[in-house]
Amino acid sequence: MRHRIAVVGGGPAGLTFARVLHRHDHPVTVLERDSGPDARPPGGTLDLHEGLGQLALDKAGLLAEFQALSRPEGQAMRILDTDGTVLRDWRPRGDDRAHPEIDRGHLRDLLLGPLDVRWGRGVTQVVPGTPDGVLVRFADGRQETFDLVVGADGAWSRTRPAVSPVTPHYTGITAVETSLDDVDTRHPGLARMIGDGSVAVYGVNRKLVAQRNSGGHVKVYAQFRAPLDWHTDLDLADADAVRSSLLTLFDGWAAPVLDLLHHGTAFVHRPLHVLPVTHTWTHVSGVTLLGDAAHLMPPLGAGANLAMLDGAELAESLATGPGNLDDAVRAFEERMWARAGRWAKITTAGLERLVSPNPAEALAVFDQVQPS
């Protein structure tokens, strides 16, 4: 029997889920609120890990194409002291494919492939248990029913309330993102400092990270401990005002490091929210969640990987598992909760150490994960 399946959200989780179902010749409806694939900037770069994101792409039959698009050299990581001293400088071997980088836009295009996405279909509510199945209400007033609705719609999921009342909470750490374009030509000194991958600088309760994307584009992230309303007297749309505020916050750091902020263009406020480490729910017939909608955790490289593997495993369970839809979903949820819980503990502890009163904690984390 061919079930009517919809996935809400066209990010890595939703598209991986749909792509694996498509590989098994099972129809799936992708509902995405954006008006098209280029409606907004796709975001920065992702490192896809062996056994997680790469395994998901293998299940989708896309691993070879990913390897051709990815940047293994982007795994390089350099750590500086606030005075500019190089503390660590790790570079991958030529054959190292443990977690190569790929731009989000390139990954999105790879996953989209032949998928039929319904663009501009923002979901406002998911209602299980109606006589004709799970009801999905859209922002434009339309509605439709499905046998299974999969929420892959991120941190502020509109699907989550159908299974769980829990909402994300603020970690006490916020991030401000900016970017540099054509860095090798316009800012060659910064390009050398960043190298082929990322550079990170850790101070007391704050850090700066610059990460190379393809095409000479660099994303810069300033993270610091602050109240959620730290910007009350600051116009976040005023780039000069935000830049000045950040330069004051990082005052005393080496001039080349501060140039990451001096040369930044637009600034985007991204407070870090998470779901409880132990977030689960009582199974609801016809609805489940993937990725950040299910287990939002600190952005330390695990989130997109877990989201993609969630999508691939659920799709395989539906395509090849027991014929009973609820049994397949329930079994998947149990596996997802166990794996996500382990990673949520790791990333929560990691964030506390990476943005801490003692910058040496960050070096200890690096040495545990990537020993010299």
Residue 145 has pLDDT above 80, yes or no: yes
Say whether both 145 and 13 belong to one domain: yes
| % residues pLDDT > 90 (the chain) | 92
Task: Provide the whole-model pTM.
Answer: 0.95
Distance CA 135, CA 129 (A): 8
Distance CA 339, CA 345 (A): 10
**What is the arithmetic mean of pLDDT over 316-345?**
93
Residue 59 has pLDDT above 90, yes or no: yes
Say whether both 190 and 298 belong to one domain: no
Residue 40 pLDDT grade (very low, low, confident, very high; cuts 50, 70, 90): confident
Residue 37 has pLDDT above 80, yes or no: yes
Say whether both 141 and 248 belong to one domain: no
Per-chain mean pLDDT for the chain: 95
Indicate whether 226 belongs to any domain: yes
pLDDT tens digits for 348-359?
999 999 999 999
| Residues spanned by the domain of 26 | 5-74+99-167+275-354
Say whether both 228 and 108 belong to one domain: no
Say whether both 262 and 291 belong to one domain: no
Say whether both 280 and 252 belong to one domain: no
- The CA distances from residue 302 to 58, 73, 145, 339, in Å, are 18, 19, 33, 11
pLDDT tens digits for 157-190?
999 999 999 999 999 999 999 999 999 999 999 9
Residue closest to 157 by CA, chosen among 258, 283, 8:
8
pLDDT at 126: 98
Say whether both 31 and 145 belong to one domain: yes
